Amino acid sequence: MTERTLIKDLAASSDGPVSVSGWVETVRDQKKVQFVVLRDESGAVQLVAPRVSGDDGEIVATDVSDTITSLSQGSFLTATGELKHDERVKLGGVEIKLDALDVASLAIAETPIKDDSGIDKRMDWRFLDLRVPRNALIFKIQTTFLHALRSYWVEHDYIEIQTPKLMASASESKAELFRVEYFDGSAFLAQSPQFFKQMAQPAGFGKIFEVGPAFRADPSFTSRHATEFTSVDAEISWIDSHEDVMKMHEEILVAGFQAVKDKHGDAIKELFDVEVTVPTLPFPRIPLAEAKKIVASRGYEIPRADDDMDPEGERQIAAYAREELGSEFVFLTDYASTIRPFYHMRREGDPSITNSYDLIFNGTEISTGAQREHRVDVLTEQIKEKGLDPEELDGYLDFFRYGVPAHGGFGMGLSRVLMLLLGLPNLREATYLFRGPTRLEP
């Protein structure tokens, strides 16, 4: 049996016997010749089968011709034949003259989704939706992006951890927790790996990262929220302030964007009409109070009374950063302690401000990071100030009772980064299988 060749490698292969496997994209069943466009995970190629005529000039049915006639869009098969290079062939400059077809699986002729199907219908049939090259490219980009981040971390001696997603108590907000049955009691799905990545600091790991699922019982139906998402997290010891976290954060993003541009830049331009821009260092840093003044000067007053930035404010400050500072990224810093979690360290000399930041990319927040409070007495008081019971967090506080270095980190939503990088309309496009308040399938 001829070894399978990926379609993307055909152009560099010599003319001669070849075998390819994939699914049928189109069939043109003509009188004198039959054509099949076959696609695999790497590209598409044209298969050609000239009709055979008998002595009387009539077309003679053959196994290949009969098989082609029976094919439906989406059928999976293996094709063997003679590879021919021909610059007149628009699809890659090569074609395969068929000798045989081996059908692995015929598809139902009528597909349930079309090019103009809505997003909900497409999500119902996601496995078919992902056959579209544009949609499949998103996850090739994701793979390249994550590999670049991991490479940075590994080269800088970070340790990768996998934290549990079943928890006995809340990690941050009880309001956003999913409660699940757990033997004779109950457990909670982790909102983030926050407590456990902090635990790695008194364990002496120094620098850690994790890429894993997180769960939020948030009934939002916006274009940027999900109830289950992939969180990209890192935590580092021996920092002086959140500035050390921001420096690492921007460096990994530059590494990720550079890798994506190098490997997929041309395809992204072709399929998404987006020019990938590798950000320059450092990213702009704007204190939140100053950012609000800038937004106001652009004609938008933030209506929120909780000292936070709202979505339109994020879009406005991002537009300012792009127009005036030449950056698609901007760090917003100096968030009020009233709107930050109890574990964010407060500014020395001004406890109303935290050593924390949000990272805005193309108009949307993709990450929150901070220096953590590592002094157990201060941490206990901040827990009380937030209306929480220190006894309920006693296991967490144990992390800080036996020695811990100054540390900080961030959590970043992977799908949000991809959505904003590619200019997609919502998070669902950039999520392999989306989960929201009304979606648990497929």
298 is in an annotated binding site: no
Q: What is the dihedral of CA 401, 404, 410, 413, to 10 degrees?
A: -60
Helix axes 242-272 and 414-422, enclosed angle (nearest 10) = 50
CA–CA separation, 367 and 348 (whole Å) = 24
Cβ-contact 379, 400 below 8 angstroms: yes
Enclosing H/E stretch for 287: strand 285-287
397 labelled as ligand-binding? no
Under a CB-based contact definition with an 8 Å cutoff, are residues 372 and 237 in contact? no
CA–CA gap between residue 225 and residue 121 (Å, rounded): 19
Give just the sign of the alpha carbon dihedral 387, 390, 391, 397.
positive
Q: Is 415 annotated as a binding residue?
A: yes
**Is 58 annotated among the ligand-binding residues?**
no
CA angle 365, 290, 239 (to 5 degrees): 65
Q: Is 416 annotated as a binding residue?
A: yes
CA dist., res. 9 & res. 25, Å (int): 19
CB 71 within 8 A of CB 22: no
Is 428 assigned a ligand-binding role in the annotation?
no
Tell me, what DSSP letter sits at residue 79? E
251 is in an annotated binding site: no
CA 171 – CA 214 distance, rounded (Å): 11
* CA–CA gap between residue 422 and residue 141 (Å, rounded): 10
Kindly list the distances between the CA atom of residue 434 and the CA atoms of 65, 88, 250, 271, 367, in Å, as whole numbers in the listed order.
41, 42, 27, 22, 19
User: Which residue numbers belong to the known binding site?
Assistant: 172, 216, 365, 368, 372, 413-416
Binding-site residues for L-aspartate, in ranges, read: 172, 216, 368, 372
In the annotated binding site for ATP, the residues are: 365, 413-416
